[in-house]
Amino acid sequence: MSNSQPAPKDFIRAIVAQDREARKFNGVVHTRFPPEPNGYLHIGHAKSICLNFGIAQEFSGLCNLRFDDTNPAKEDVEYVESIQEDVRWLGFDWQDRCFFASDYFERLYEYAVLLIRKGKAYVDSLTADEIRTYRGTLTEPGKESPYRTRSVEENLDLFSRMRAGGCEEGAHVLRAKIDMASPNINLRDPTLYRVRRVPHHRTGSDWNIYPTYDFAHPLSDSLEGITHSLCTLEFEDHRPLYDWLLDECEMACHSQQIEFARLNLTHTVMSKRKLLELIEEGHVSGWDDPRLPTLMGLRRRGYPPEAIRRFCEHIGVAKRDGVVEVNLLEHFVRETLNANAQRVMAVLRPLRVVLTNYPEGQVEELPAVNNPEDPAMGSRAVPFSRVVYIERDDFREDPPKKYFRLAPGQEVRLRYAYIIQCVNVIRDEQTGEIVEIHCTYDPETKSGSGQSARKVKGTIHWVSATHALEAEVRLFDHLFSVPDPEKDGRDYRTVLNPNSVERLRGCQVEPALQGAVAGQRFQFERQGYFCVDSDSTGQRLVFNRTVALRDSWAKIEKK
Ligand code: ATP
Ligand code: MG
Band of residue 383 on the pLDDT scale cut at 50, 70, 90: very high
State pLDDT tens for residues 500-546: 999 999 999 999 999 999 999 999 999 999 999 999 998 899 999 99
Residue 555 confidence (pLDDT): 43
Rounded to whole angstroms, the Cα distance separating 360 from 506 reads 24
- Percentage of the chain with pLDDT > 90? 94
Query: Which pairing describes strands 387-391 and 463-464: parallel, antiparallel, or unpaired?
Result: antiparallel
How far is ligand 2, taken at its centre, from the CA of residue 311, in Å? 23
State pLDDT tens for residues 138-181: 999 999 999 999 999 999 999 999 999 999 999 999 999 999 99
Rounded to whole angstroms, the Cα distance separating 33 from 62 reads 11
Three-class SS of 457-483? CCEECCEECCCCEEEEEEEECCCECCC
Residue 527 confidence (pLDDT): 96
Residue 450 confidence (pLDDT): 65
| DSSP-derived secondary structure letter, 401 | T
- What's the whole-number mean pLDDT along residues 382-410? 96
- Closest listed residue to residue 529, CA positions, set 309, 290, 318: 290
Q: What is the mean pLDDT of the chain?
A: 95
State pLDDT tens for residues 20-40: 999 999 999 999 999 999 999
Is the pLDDT confidence value at 552 over 70?
A: no
pTM: predicted TM-score of the whole model, two decimal places: 0.94
User: Which residue among the candidates 177, 272, 343, 521 is catalytic per the annotation?
Assistant: 272
How far is ligand 1, taken at its centre, from the CA of residue 42, in Å? 9
Rounded to whole angstroms, the Cα distance separating 250 from 220 reads 13
262 lines ligand 1 (CB under 6 A): yes
Q: Taking the alpha carbons of 452, 458, 461, 466 in that order, is the dihedral positive or negative?
A: negative
126 lines ligand 1 (CB under 6 A): no
Is the pLDDT confidence value at 385 over 60?
A: yes
Instruction: Give nearest CA residue, ligand 1 atom 29.
Output: 262
Query: Which pairing describes strands 419-427 and 434-442: parallel, antiparallel, or unpaired?
Result: antiparallel
Band of residue 321 on the pLDDT scale cut at 50, 70, 90: confident
Beta bridge partners, 523, equal 343, 529
Instruction: Give nearest CA residue, ligand 1 atom 16.
Output: 45
Residue 554 confidence (pLDDT): 40
User: Which residue among the candidates 239, 262, 343, 386 is catalytic per the annotation?
Assistant: 262
